[in-house]
Structure 1
Amino acid sequence: MLSQAASSLGGLASGGLGPLLPAVAAVGARLLGRSGLLQQQRGLQWSVEKEPQSYKAVDDIIQDHVIVAALEKTQQAAKDPARVRDILTAAKERSFLTNHKPGPSEYVQGLTYEECATLLNVDVGNEQIMSDIFDTAFAIKQRIYGNRIVLFAPLYIANYCVNNCRYCAFRQGNKSLERSALTDKQLREEVAALQQQGHRRLLVLTGEHPKYTFDSFLKAIDTISSVRTEPCGNIRRINVEIPSLSLSDMRRLKATDKIGTYTLFQETYHRPTFKHMHIAGPKSDYDNRVMTHDRAMRAGLDDVGLGTLFGLYDYKYEVLATLMHANHLEREYGAGPHTISVPRMRPADGSDVSLAPPYAVDDANFKKLVAILRIAVPYTGMILSTRESPEMRTELLRVGMSQMSAGSKTDVGAYHRDDSKATEDNLADLNGQFTLADHRPVQDIVVDLMKEGYVPSWCTACYRKGRTGEHFMKIAKAGNIHNFCHPNSLFTLQEYLNDYGSEEAKQIGQDLIERERVVGLSDSAQNLTKRKLAKVNAGEHDVYI
């Protein structure tokens, strides 16, 4: 029927009946709507659009020709140390808000496309230029984020999926995977187990399938937010990474008033590669996926996260395309992405592609791209997953990462299962979305971070106090972020140590807090920090400025 409608449109156009085209197009739109509903009934769509709207053309957002031209044009400039240093100097000034007038958004573009392409084209074998890039990324990170590292855990609710993505263990074509979805009781047990590890922030994920509907997911969000455990376990921020939603369902997600960041990975911005990697299912619609964040913005969910899966296509192309997508959101809605994730492809059950990525990114180039992203989007949170080894994660923290998962499991129900060594050894090989490279439990990651001089943080204060957007940027321009964020991170660390810390963690943590409670803080901030730390140590929870 749809093909007949398309043929009719072509015939009308060639027959000079242009005035009838709008009416026929409306009929076509209704047919598409019915088709979408039929697809949902057949299990092919998780979320159907009930509010069709006009959006900017996707090819005007992700401009392939601009990306290709920028990478070609800057190959020689990338070999010029003076040119690279000029770019880095200008980027640092932008990140320090030297000539920046605070607006309604926290997003700052640190690099133009040409500047970003120049840095991406730098040969990682050029140690001096690479050192300059890493030093700039570190300086920007220290200026904005200090030594604070926000911790969270992913929580997988269901692994049913109708999509067939070549690189993913959850794909519909993987018949060897055991499928499951958490019951309400199991979900409560999962959340309780995470709280007992000290987690306050979760990233909640699910596959796309009618056996676990969007309505079921909304109910799960209510359940997660209601769980309480002793001594004071509760989840203070729920971020989600779920299938693409319609505008109408974005409004429903927003209406829960329980969601922090809505994250959706494009996986790859290179259209031919996207088509090849996504064989079937709603996710195979490139344009619809790119426009997901626009729908979130229009629904009032202006806290969104972007991400690509490095290894599917040339990382240089993906970084520039990610920057383009971020700039589009900022221009169109006055709010760039809140976070950018940088997952690198890992082996997944039954996926040959994941075992031999077509555009594998080695450690040196991966570290480079992370540093360049930090320079390009200085005020955007960058998220590091347990796909990377402990050693690599340590390296990446030095060049830009501000958030990382801890004690992660990608198996449905894995947190509350029998915690035997055999179970731990086999979990990632059984039902996980991908294999992990960092298997350390939360308490070990916390201790290791503190030994490296970082302050593990579970802070959510700025969101709850409204220190976002223009308000946040005014604080940043005045150089006062540290007087708010650093004490708040120390309060959450002290709370963790009191409630869940091992003896080793408490000893290392107390020494760290004693040093950090005065570093770089104004006199008034030091006094306030001392008073509020005393409240935490007296048993008060959820203390923040």
Structure 2
Amino acid sequence: MPARSSLCRRETVLNVNARAGSMDHSTQGGAFIDERVIFQTLEGLGPVADPVHVREILAKARELKGLNPEEVAVLTVVTDRGLLEELFTAARFIKETIYGPRIVLFAPLYISNLCHNECLYCAFRASNREVHRRALNQDEIANEIKLLVEQGHKRVLVVSGESYPREDGFDYIIKSIETVYKTRSGPGEIRRVNVNLAPCTVEQFKQLKAAGIGTFQLFQETYHRRTYDVMHPGGRKRDYDWRVTAFDRAMRGGIDDVGMGLLFGLYDWRFEVLALLQHARHLEEVFGVGPHTISVPRMEPAVGSEIAANPPRPVSDDDFLKIVAILRMAVPYTGMIMSTRETPETRRATLALGISQISAGSRTNPGGYSDGVQETDAQFQLGDHRPLNEVIRDLADMGYIPSFCTACYRLGRTGHDFMELAKPGDIKYRCDPNALSTFLEYLLDYASPDTVAAGERLIEKQLARMDDRLRRTASKMLDKVRGGRRDVYI
């Protein structure tokens, strides 16, 4: 990690903080992100959390019905070590109750770093001359996919800078999705494509839906409008409202599976968490379904960005763990994603507290799986460089079932349909067998011998923990996989 002591970098951060301002009472921000309400909630907190009140909130969280903004705000100021451990224990209970030991795996596929925006924290910003610009052609994308498939991946997140090759425009994305789906290598294929793209029009969302995407993912970066304005001085991304209403257009375009997130480090994390929950509540109130996933990336160094190396509002490791735990209690049925920005140690710590999906073996530069990590092409520095097989073995050693399942997307169990199964707990009768089936498929086709041994032991232990009904279902599916069948799911 680059040194953080240069005078130039300190001055840059001080200037950004001065322009962004401290916790002001701006009422800007749109109909559903109400900064005034958030600041009133935070300012109404005492300097120390009342233990009795905290324990009442934790007891409510264990009922798996979520928390309101005031309750979330109280948990953000918990600092007592004993109370923090009680908070973490409640989060672990919720994670285990709803998700069990399943951890879904995916890989990002960066197809382009072309961008017309001027995000000060991002290596892809238009004026950054330290980045080598590249948009993969369809043959290059196919080659990247073959390499990912040969590692054992089954789902990818297609990521592009917020500008597309001139000759194709938005069709470049549609063609790229088609290439991913039609590319095979040996017995493997990518079964689900999710995307992280610039905000789209309703018509473009309809095209994405027709192309067969799973989740449309988009980060607001920061919900604090003044900080947002400072951090995005140029490009279409300057328009806060166009970005924050993207999920509304996605829903109208037929995509009911959306993934939201922000970039922790740009503004006060307590404000950001409450604003993110306002956004989620807006979707639930208007469309009847909230986000399918929430991502929680922290800012990491990026080529050509002083701010990325010196976050204006850095989030400590302790606070980061608290963020994960609080979100797990606030929105218990929403998946949570941890990227390879974080170190293996941090990623391990967050799994029990609420994370249900992780990327593995990631590259954040176009062509990265073919050419290796190229810092001059990458969006940010990675914290976890381990290959997929090593991550799988680590998960198995910790007792987690690595899952490559894509069944819900392909059977239409998204939005309302997914929640109807998830909230009463019935989803486990599908997710648990599907996770074991895809895990065994990985072990038989791609894993190293020591990972196979660890995985087989884990599968046996997991079967032993299941009730009779679930064990019979899972065992039949595993027998089919051992007999040569692939893509076995319910």
TM-score by length of 1: 0.83
Correspondence for 2:49 among 53, 76, 79: 79
Deviation at 1:496, TM superposition (A): 0.2
Greater C-alpha Rg: 1
Deviation at 1:445, TM superposition (A): 0.2
C-alpha distance after superposition, 1:115-161 (max 9, x if no partner): 111111222xx111101110111111101110110000000001111
| Matched-pair contact (CA < 8 Å) for 2:106–2:404 | yes
| Matched-pair contact (CA < 8 Å) for 2:333–2:423 | no
Deviation at 1:465, TM superposition (A): 2.9
Aligned to 2:441: 495
Helix, strand or coil: the match of 2:476? helix
- Equivalents in 2 of 1:238, 1:472: separation in Å? 18
> Which residue type is aligned with residue 455 of structure 2?
G
> Which residue type is aligned with residue 240 of structure 1?
V
Aligned to 1:400: 354
C-alpha distance after superposition, 1:29-61 (max 9, x if no partner): xxxxxxxxxxxxxxxxxxxxxxxxxxxx95221
Change (3 A) 1:472 1:250: closer
Correspondence for 2:472 among 527, 536, 539: 527
Aligned to 1:309: 263
Change (3 A) 1:495 1:283: same
Aligned to 2:188: 233
| Matched-pair contact (CA < 8 Å) for 1:243–1:264 | yes
> Which residue type is aligned with residue 437 of structure 1?
G
| Matched-pair contact (CA < 8 Å) for 2:114–2:134 | yes
Deviation at 1:470, TM superposition (A): 4.6
Aligned to 2:488: 543
Deviation at 1:472, TM superposition (A): 3.9
Change (3 A) 1:139 1:273: same
- Equivalents in 2 of 1:210, 1:300: separation in Å? 23
> Which residue type is aligned with residue 68 of structure 1?
F
Correspondence for 1:205 among 159, 165, 170: 159
- Equivalents in 1 of 2:468, 2:352: separation in Å? 28
Deviation at 1:517, TM superposition (A): 1.6
Change (3 A) 1:122 1:416: same
Correspondence for 1:330 among 262, 280, 284: 284
Deviation at 1:185, TM superposition (A): 1.0
Correspondence for 1:382 among 336, 343, 349: 336
Helix, strand or coil: the match of 1:152? strand
Helix, strand or coil: the match of 2:194? strand
- Equivalents in 2 of 1:157, 1:474: separation in Å? 35
**Structural mapping, 1:86-165, within 5 Å:** 86-95=56-65, 110-123=66-79, 126-165=80-119
| Matched-pair contact (CA < 8 Å) for 1:160–1:170 | yes
Helix, strand or coil: the match of 1:275? helix
C-alpha distance after superposition, 1:349-400 (max 9, x if no partner): 0100011100000100010011101111110110000000000000011110
Deviation at 1:246, TM superposition (A): 1.3
Deviation at 1:91, TM superposition (A): 1.8
- Equivalents in 2 of 1:290, 1:473: separation in Å? 24
Structure 2 residues without counterparts, runs of 5 or longer: 1-27
2:330 maps to 1:360: no
2:213 maps to 1:255: no
| Matched-pair contact (CA < 8 Å) for 2:219–2:262 | yes
> Which residue type is aligned with residue 543 of structure 1?
V
Change (3 A) 1:175 1:511: same
> Which residue type is aligned with residue 70 of structure 1?
T
Change (3 A) 1:119 1:523: same
Change (3 A) 1:479 1:176: closer
Change (3 A) 1:481 1:252: closer
2:439 maps to 1:439: no
Deviation at 1:209, TM superposition (A): 2.2
- Equivalents in 2 of 1:429, 1:249: separation in Å? 32
2:134 maps to 1:188: no
Aligned to 1:65: 36
2:187 maps to 1:217: no
Deviation at 1:428, TM superposition (A): 4.7
- Equivalents in 2 of 1:160, 1:465: separation in Å? 34
Helix, strand or coil: the match of 2:314? coil
Deviation at 1:473, TM superposition (A): 4.0
- Equivalents in 1 of 2:408, 2:458: separation in Å? 23
- Equivalents in 1 of 2:416, 2:339: separation in Å? 29
C-alpha distance after superposition, 1:338-357 (max 9, x if no partner): 11000000000010001110
Deviation at 1:534, TM superposition (A): 0.8
Correspondence for 1:296 among 250, 273, 279: 250
Aligned to 2:20: none
Helix, strand or coil: the match of 2:105? strand
> Which residue type is aligned with residue 222 of structure 1?
E
Change (3 A) 1:468 1:182: closer
Aligned to 1:391: 345
Aligned to 1:278: 232
TM-score by length of 2: 0.92
Deviation at 1:478, TM superposition (A): 4.2
| Matched-pair contact (CA < 8 Å) for 2:114–2:124 | yes
Aligned to 1:506: 452
- Equivalents in 1 of 2:475, 2:203: separation in Å? 47
| Matched-pair contact (CA < 8 Å) for 2:338–2:355 | yes
> Which residue type is aligned with residue 71 of structure 2?
E
Q: What is the count of residue pairs matched by the alignment?
A: 461
Helix, strand or coil: the match of 1:525? helix
Deviation at 1:210, TM superposition (A): 4.5
| Matched-pair contact (CA < 8 Å) for 1:428–1:434 | no
473-482 or 164-173: which moved more? Answer: 473-482
Correspondence for 1:266 among 211, 220, 233: 220
- Equivalents in 2 of 1:414, 1:400: separation in Å? 29
Percent identical pairs in the alignment equals 49
| Matched-pair contact (CA < 8 Å) for 1:58–1:291 | no
> Which residue type is aligned with residue 366 of structure 1?
F
Change (3 A) 1:395 1:210: closer
| Matched-pair contact (CA < 8 Å) for 2:165–2:172 | no
| Matched-pair contact (CA < 8 Å) for 1:490–1:517 | no
Deviation at 1:264, TM superposition (A): 0.7
**Structural mapping, 1:417-496, within 5 Å:** 417=371, 424=372, 427-496=373-442
Structural RMSD (CA):
1.4
Helix, strand or coil: the match of 2:219? coil
| Matched-pair contact (CA < 8 Å) for 2:288–2:416 | no
> Which residue type is aligned with residue 274 of structure 2?
L
